[in-house]
Amino acid sequence: MKLILRSTVLLGVIGVIGYGFPLFSESEIENNLDIVENGRVTLPKKIWDANENNVSSSKLKGKFIGLYFSASWCGPCRLFTPKLVEFRDHNTNDFEVLLISSDGSAKAQSNYMKKYNMPWFALKNQSEAARNLSLSLEVEYIPYLVVLDPSGNVITKEGKKDITTFGNNALESWKERAE
């Protein structure tokens, strides 16, 4: 069992380094300030559902948003995703997730969303918007959950830890931080 866990973690690390959200230079990050400025995130107007249909990001309006940086090849992501689905489903009136995947293709992203019954939306796989968000928010590993308040302000970059620690009460702590 330990060997399987070690292998999964090692593959995840290799995947992040080779295929995930690589670290870029400061000059590249500076060019992305239109996405995240003063701790406030501007999402693209077009997002996608699991069937690769284009929908409007206005469907996220008025909710706390979890920007979920993840991928199907990432073992820790596959372990956390069901917890996030459960959390989202329990808090559907106030919370929504937006997947930012580092899968190698739109098909892999779509299959990942379907396999884990992800009821949320995603940015287009390997899109410039996905890359810019990961750079601007300085995402260094996955799974990574950045929580935004309904105005787009970053509440925490430790959303995964909050959900793992507090369960369904994590939303209440985010609401308190937003006030």
| Domain boundary assignment for the chain | 2-178
Give pLDDT < 50 ranges for the chain.
2-5, 7-34
Using alpha carbons, select from 174, 177, 112 the residue that is nearest to residue 143. 112
pLDDT (0 to 100) of residue 19: 42
Assign 100 to helix, strand or coil. Answer: strand
The side-by-side arrangement of strands in the sheet containing 144-148 is 54-56, 46-48, 121-122, 95-101, 64-70, 144-148, 154-156
pLDDT (0 to 100) of residue 45: 84
- DSSP H helical ranges for the chain: 2-18, 26-30, 75-90, 106-115, 128-136, 159-166, 170-178
Give me the chain's average pLDDT, please. 82
Which CATH fold would you assign to the domain 2-178?
Glutaredoxin (3.40.30)
Cis omega (within 30 of 0) for bond into 119: no
Q: What is the pTM of this model?
A: 0.79
pLDDT (0 to 100) of residue 35: 59
pLDDT (0 to 100) of residue 28: 38
Over residues 86-128, the pLDDT tens digits come to 999 999 999 999 999 999 998 999 999 999 999 999 998 888 9
